[in-house]
Chain A
Amino acid sequence: MSRDGNRTAQTGAETETGAETGHDWDDPLEELAFRREQALRQGGEAAIERQHAAGRLTIRERIAALTDAGSFREVGSLAGAGSYDSENRLVSVTPAPYVAGLARIDGRPVALGGEDFTVRGGTTFGSQRRKGGQGGFVEDLAWHYRIPLVNLIDGAGGSVTSIRKRGHSVFPGVHGFERSVSLLGAVPVASAVLGTAAGGPAGRAILSHFSVMVRGRSQIFAAGPPVVKRSLGTEIDKEALGGAAVAVDAAGTIHNAADTEEEAFAQIRRFLSYLPSNVWEAPPVLPADDPADRREEGLASVVPQKRTQPYDMRKLLKLVIDRESGFEICPTNGKPLITMLARLGGRPVGIVANNPMVYGGAMDAAAARKQVHFMELCDTFHLPIVFFVDVPGFMVGEKAEREGTLREGMRAVFAAGRLKVPTLTLVIRKCYGMAGMATCNKNDIDLKLAWPSAEWGSLPVQGGVAAAFARDIRAAPDPAAREREIEAEFAAYASPFRSAEAFAVEEIIDPRETRPVLCEFVELAERRQRIELGPRLRGGVQP
């Protein structure tokens, strides 16, 4: 094991003919120093320059930029391909195209590693033991010590040349994803896609709790442009096929985009800051400098009187959570929904909020997928979930049906139904139908709070009246007036205070009380979290 540091460069002695001869060392410490120095050279100056010219950092620069200064303890620094002279003396070592080890982020240990693109494009190198990627040593390192894993991905997986070296082709799964899968139930896993990722490294990125890529600099796909051309005859460049506009914004394949590698690392540090090191530990509580009893006058007027007018849910959330504590996951995909890690009174929470600015907050397939992943993330790491509800129902229309909205939406209902973590439901405005059911959980008390602006039901009075009283309305001398009359009668019953009278909702709160109330319930949830630590067993079959 070595720590990075400055070392004197040594090279093999050159003979008059220019052929390199190997080294003779009396002291094995000299050999160790030479071999370590060789590792730090990575793929050589020219390859490092090419990496920089592409606007990308090298793997060693990435590790330094991501982690606490001087904290990297490399493991496997001597792995690589040695070159020996005719006397079997070492001339040089081409390092393995993967750098891995342990480091600290905000003082907490992590296992991390990434492909070294400057060495043979970060491909595999035929070693006895794989260093990183699926089934690699770095995954076992995270598993063994129960610490988060960070993957810094910059590679396209196996190279066909390895077939010639081995004399046979490898069956898929020899280096399987089993460890990657088990990690998802045990420790936080974050991946940054920093180059062009295809094959195994692309798959590795997906098996993460959080993934981020660099807009304009990195791409990810199942297969790149040459394969697409051969398979489908279509010409497409790699950015159009798997840049952030596709992989993050349109598909949700990767959760977040960053403008630079440094910003991607900042996002990973931020993500990890809300989570415990593993599922057996409680989420990290920070000293709260924002008073829990802060009442925001602005909350009283944030919801417009006119129910067809939307409002800015992000602004609302900002007034409630600890100052500057929000971190959105998946902000540009599944936009009818907002999923955000945040803190209330210093305690980490997951926030699931409908966004009325996009389709009135109606749940589409992408929003449902996003909600399922986020709820399972919070449930796994014992973060209480607070739902800020304004959902008119599932998204409707032909496009929505073709996308399987009903199935994806019911998957969200299913996932909400098996949550074990304490949840809190706060209805801001609409809570209708089955999409509304995905915003609460019947675990024990099933606490539902509401603002006075709330309304709910199996379907809204407007439209519902037209359908249920069609014959009555048609027969009236003035059908429109008759419809308005019936609507007015039903609207009175739809008042949330009527539901509170029936104790169908536990409490209606003044919007200005939101932060104090939520902080109190999240603090109460902590006792329960502490005795329910450990892995989650999720039974059943997702619809």
Chain B
Amino acid sequence: MADHEVAADVTGTVWKIVKQAGEAVAEGEAIMILESMKMEIPIEAPAAGSLSELRVAEGDPVAEGDVVCVVSA
């Protein structure tokens, strides 16, 4: 088991949470969607596994480089 910390590539706000903590995720599957520069930017699972930690909620501001969730693979 390895923990993958997933960081936001962009500064923006959390528009929609797609996966809840504890849910299984496939590689490349969207975990949440950020809104930045009028675009809906998905945060994707870097590997298949489970979403062990969700560090943000809908509406939260995030900065580039912030870890927003952790995937255990």
Q: Which A residues are within 8 Å of any B CB, using their own CB?
A: 308-310, 335, 356-360, 362, 392, 395-397, 399, 462-463
Query: Does B20 sit at the interface, judged by CB under 8 A?
Result: no
CB of A310 within 8 A of CB of B41, answer yes
Closest to B28 in A: A312
CB of B38 within 8 A of CB of A335, answer no
CB-CB contacts below 8 Å: B17-73 with A = 36-42
CB of B10 within 8 A of CB of A308, answer no
In the assembled complex, which residues on chain A have CB atoms less than 8 Å from the CB atom of B9? Answer: 335, 357-358
CB of B37 within 8 A of CB of A357, answer no
User: How many Å lie between the Cα of A310 and that of B42 in the bound state?
Assistant: 8
In the assembled complex, which residues on chain A have CB atoms less than 8 Å from the CB atom of B42? Answer: 310, 357
- Residue pairs across A and B with Cβ atoms less than 8 A apart, 12 shown, are A308-B39, A309-B40, A310-B39, A310-B40, A335-B9, A357-B41, A358-B10, A359-B39, A360-B36, A360-B38, A360-B41, A392-B38
In the assembled complex, which residues on chain A have CB atoms less than 8 Å from the CB atom of B36? Answer: 359-360
Instruction: Taking A360-B37, A360-B38 as given, write out 19 further A-B residue pairs in contact, using a Cβ cutoff of 8 Å, ordered by the A residue number.
Output: A308-B39, A310-B39, A310-B41, A356-B39, A357-B9, A357-B41, A357-B42, A358-B9, A358-B41, A359-B37, A360-B36, A360-B39, A360-B41, A362-B37, A392-B38, A395-B37, A396-B37, A462-B38, A463-B38
Q: How many Å from the CB of B16 to the closest CB on chain A?
A: 12
User: How many Å lie between the Cα of A519 and that of B11 in the bound state?
Assistant: 38
The 3 closest A-B pairs by CB, nearest first: A360-B39, A360-B37, A359-B37
In the assembled complex, which residues on chain A have CB atoms less than 8 Å from the CB atom of B11? Answer: 397, 399
User: How many Å lie between the Cα of A359 and that of B40 in the bound state?
Assistant: 9
Q: Give the B interface residue count (CB, 8 A).
A: 10
User: How many Å lie between the Cα of A335 and that of B64 in the bound state?
Assistant: 12
Closest to B15 in A: A308
User: How many Å lie between the Cα of A462 and that of B39 in the bound state?
Assistant: 13
User: How many Å lie between the Cα of A360 and that of B10 in the bound state?
Assistant: 10
In the assembled complex, which residues on chain A have CB atoms less than 8 Å from the CB atom of B10? Answer: 358-359
User: How many Å lie between the Cα of A308 and that of B40 in the bound state?
Assistant: 6
User: How many Å lie between the Cα of A199 and that of B36 in the bound state?
Assistant: 40
User: How many Å lie between the Cα of A362 and that of B39 in the bound state?
Assistant: 11
With A335-B9, A357-B9, A358-B9 as known contacts, state yes or no: A392 contacts B37, CB within 8 Å.
yes
User: How many Å lie between the Cα of A335 and that of B39 in the bound state?
Assistant: 16
In the assembled complex, which residues on chain B have CB atoms less than 8 Å from the CB atom of A358? Answer: 9-10, 41
Closest to A392 in B: B37
Closest to A250 in B: B65
User: How many Å lie between the Cα of A34 and that of B36 in the bound state?
Assistant: 67
User: How many Å lie between the Cα of A357 and that of B64 in the bound state?
Assistant: 13
In the assembled complex, which residues on chain B have CB atoms less than 8 Å from the CB atom of A396? Answer: 37
User: How many Å lie between the Cα of A392 and that of B36 in the bound state?
Assistant: 12
User: How many Å lie between the Cα of A309 and that of B41 in the bound state?
Assistant: 7
In the assembled complex, which residues on chain B have CB atoms less than 8 Å from the CB atom of A399? Answer: 11
Q: How many Å from the CB of B64 to the closest CB on chain A?
A: 9
Q: How many Å from the CB of B11 to the closest CB on chain A?
A: 8
Q: How many Å from the CB of A503 to the closest CB on chain B?
A: 30
Closest to A309 in B: B40
In the assembled complex, which residues on chain B have CB atoms less than 8 Å from the CB atom of A462? Answer: 38
Listed residue (B37, B40, B41) with the most chain A CB atoms within 10 angstroms of its CB: B37
User: How many Å lie between the Cα of A396 and that of B39 in the bound state?
Assistant: 14
User: How many Å lie between the Cα of A64 and that of B64 in the bound state?
Assistant: 41
In the assembled complex, which residues on chain B have CB atoms less than 8 Å from the CB atom of A395? Answer: 37
User: How many Å lie between the Cα of A395 and that of B41 in the bound state?
Assistant: 16
In the assembled complex, which residues on chain B have CB atoms less than 8 Å from the CB atom of A310? Answer: 39-42
Q: How many Å from the CB of B15 to the closest CB on chain A?
A: 10
Q: How many Å from the CB of A5 to the closest CB on chain B?
A: 45
User: How many Å lie between the Cα of A399 and that of B9 in the bound state?
Assistant: 15
User: How many Å lie between the Cα of A360 and that of B34 in the bound state?
Assistant: 11
User: How many Å lie between the Cα of A460 and that of B11 in the bound state?
Assistant: 21
Q: How many Å from the CB of B59 to the closest CB on chain A?
A: 17
